[in-house]
A and B are shown apart, each in its own frame.
Chain A
Amino acid sequence: MIASPPRKPAVLRICLLLASIAVTACGLEAQDWVRTGTNLGVSKIRIAAADFKAGSADPQTGGLKSAFDQTLYNDLRYAGIFDVVSKSMIPNVMPGTPQEINLPQWAAEPSNAAMVAFGTLAVSAGHLSVQGFLYDTHSTQNPQVLGKQYGGEPTADASRQIAHRFADEIIERLGGVAGIAETKIYYVSSRGGNKEIWVMDYDGMNERQLTHLGTISLSPHVSPDNSRVAFSSLGKNGWSIRMFSLDLGRLSAFPAWGGTTLSPGWSSDGTKLAFSSDRSGDPEIYMSDATGNGARRLTAFRGPDVSPVWNPKTNAQIAWVSGRTKLPQIYVMDSDGANISRMTDGGYAISPSWSPSGQFLTFAWDRKYGPGAPGGYDIYVMDIASKRWTQLTHDSGANDFPSWSPDSRHIVFQREQNGHTEIWMMLADGTDQQQLTHGGGSNTMPNWSWK
């Protein structure tokens, strides 16, 4: 069962977090969460999302509108930078246009909104159109912050995608960093009986199976341009890196090394891959170009070496997992194999993911691993320069495979509880944990798209 952490005011909570990993004294200025430039932790903007007005009598309108309203509300809620007015506290009106909205009504108790999103959704002649507005409730002169027009097919999916686009506009305008409402999460699901590669929207909707290989496929990593997914798959000759083309909707050619070739990781410019291979008789880290050619070995220590990820800011460093001192630890090296630095000081540390800023690693860690130990796998974040870390998950199952979102504000991960493994996401300070997948087999190894 999840233990609810004590509720502290957000700013205080962030200050404590700062004190534990960090870097600067907190207090005088409302410092951004460990200075990632993401606004996580500064005082949140209070925003209301009005239910949109139905602009047509078409019978499809109601279903599409409820999909839109729900998606927009969730996107704002999960953005991490808003205090979203609960639906029960907003005025019971549906303003469809700027002429119809009464801003003081939204600024007043109980909604107290500083910003309000509203608009009209209509279906006509087989076409869905949405007009969305964002207004500042306290500005009398020039209240309009955004005014947007969208169109699409009259389907629930298109309606959700439009809500994601509108939400991302709002998040970018008010939060300063592009939102993640249009991003995808790649993962492994066993729901068809075999472990195959799947993809879903960041909110857990719109799940789709990509591969149908009928074997065990693991470790999906999408390319930075969202055109390909690299993963590893068990074939007759062992484990190989395979490449799924999202443009073509099928596997594309990639050299098969066989043996045990695992865990591909992309450089952020999309030109290089790092992976683990036992071609030398011992699992070591290699890098190659994006076509799998020009492979070069980077590590040379007996013992498992696996799960390499590039520093996406510089592509000059690689973090990975090595068992050279027995239990696996997180290490960082230059991308030519030099300057190896051990990051974790014990326990069982695995599955690193690098923050987009290059400043942090998130990884899974069992700090008290050993025979007879209960084994609590939790997600941690470490400031690379200082090696100071903070724990994000507590007493809730075995957590593994964290993957950072492109906005740096979120982390997606897998959690095993009661024999079921599902995909969850949370804010990068460990709060607002949300379950994204719901059964039908195990759902594991999430990888967040780059944009």
Chain B
Amino acid sequence: MQYLNRKSLIVAASLAAVLTVAGCHKKNPAPPPPPAPPATAPTPMATITAEPATISPGGSSVLTWHTSDATNVSIVGLGQVASSGTQTVQPTQTTSYHLIAQGDGGSADATATVTVASSAPPAPAPITESGIDENAFEAAVKPVFFDYDSYDVRPDAQSTIQANANFLNQHPELKVVVGGYCDERGSTEYNLALGENRANAAKQALVTAGVSPDRLRTVSYGKEKQFCTDHTEACWQQNRRSQFTLDQ
């Protein structure tokens, strides 16, 4: 069932770890169909998901499955697996993963599909009236980075702010979203508030440098959107920023 006491949790966790490390995913022959279920045994349940469901060529997706009341659990193509677990897959073409759970009460199955997107050329970026597109804008208006748990614009960011303000003052028709971002550490809610402070600090710095506040809109992304996903200080610094995008 859903519950595990602490000991059996440890056992289950180590079992799962052992199974994963030891590579239990040798191709086993599919087990024979189960005998007619006795009326009293519970019917197995099975769910499986793939995240992300769509990957680009060479990318990977994580399968997560969960079954109950099953004695024999397998994924077609991966062989026999633990009753619940996760597995990273790197299909080269669109693949369906078929989970089969068999138990005394019958069998259940579920399917998750990983779509491998063809590498289509990127859609052309939208062009604004002034001819400044997203790429040109981002090349000209650079992000501002922040110290750890701080929303003060650093002295070394002042030249970036000034350059950004000069560009915006030369293109008074552009409206801008100032996004505030935080690194992965700390709380979801607190980081959204902190990200708002960062966005506001960058906005105020631009206003001080002569940009009209009417052209600037702030949105906090907290730690919900990350530019870099390693767990290192270099990466965290990349994520502690205010990023400027066209408000369209």
Contact = CB atoms under 8 A, between A and B. Distances in A.
Contacts of A439: 49, 64-66, 84, 86
A2 B66 contact: no
A259 B196 contact: yes
A256 B190 CA distance: 20
Interface string A258-300: 0110110000000000001010011100000000000000000
Interface string A383-426: 00000000000000000110000000000000000001000000
A278 B187 CA distance: 18
B49 to A, nearest CB: 5
Nearest to B12: A435
A131 interface: no
Contacts of B200: 278, 281-282
A444 interface: yes
Size class of the A contact interface (CB-based, 8 Å): 35 or more
B2 A436 contact: yes
Nearest to A195: B224
Interface stretch (B27-35, B38-46, B130-138, B165-173): B38-46
A441 interface: yes
Given A203-B2, A328-B187, A63 B105 contact: yes
A4 to B, nearest CB: 6
Size class of the B contact interface (CB-based, 8 Å): 35 or more
A185 interface: no
A323 B218 contact: no
Q: Give the residue among A190, A238, A263 with the most B Cβ atoms within 10 A.
A: A238
Interface string A41-79: 000000000000000000100110011001000100010
Q: Interface majority SS on B: helix, strand, loop or mixed? A: mixed
A74 B40 CA distance: 20
B230 interface: no
Given A67-B42, A239-B220, A371-B233, A348 B186 contact: yes
B3 A74 contact: yes
A261 B11 CA distance: 43
B189 A218 contact: yes
Interface stretch (A24-32, A114-122, A301-309): A301-309
A59 B39 contact: yes
A85 interface: no
A351 interface: yes
A218 B6 CA distance: 29
Contact of A238 (B7, B188, B220): B220
Contact of B190 (A70, A306, A441): A306
A279 to B, nearest CB: 11
B10 interface: yes
28 contacts: A63-B42, A193-B51, A195-B224, A204-B2, A205-B2, A218-B192, A219-B188, A238-B217, A238-B218, A239-B192, A260-B192, A260-B193, A278-B218, A283-B196, A303-B151, A303-B197, A304-B190, A304-B194, A306-B192, A323-B194, A350-B187, A371-B148, A371-B233, A375-B185, A432-B5, A434-B4, A435-B9, A440-B64
Which 8 residue pairs spanning A and B have beta carbons closest together? A62-B40, A304-B193, A306-B193, A260-B196, A350-B187, A283-B193, A439-B64, A204-B2
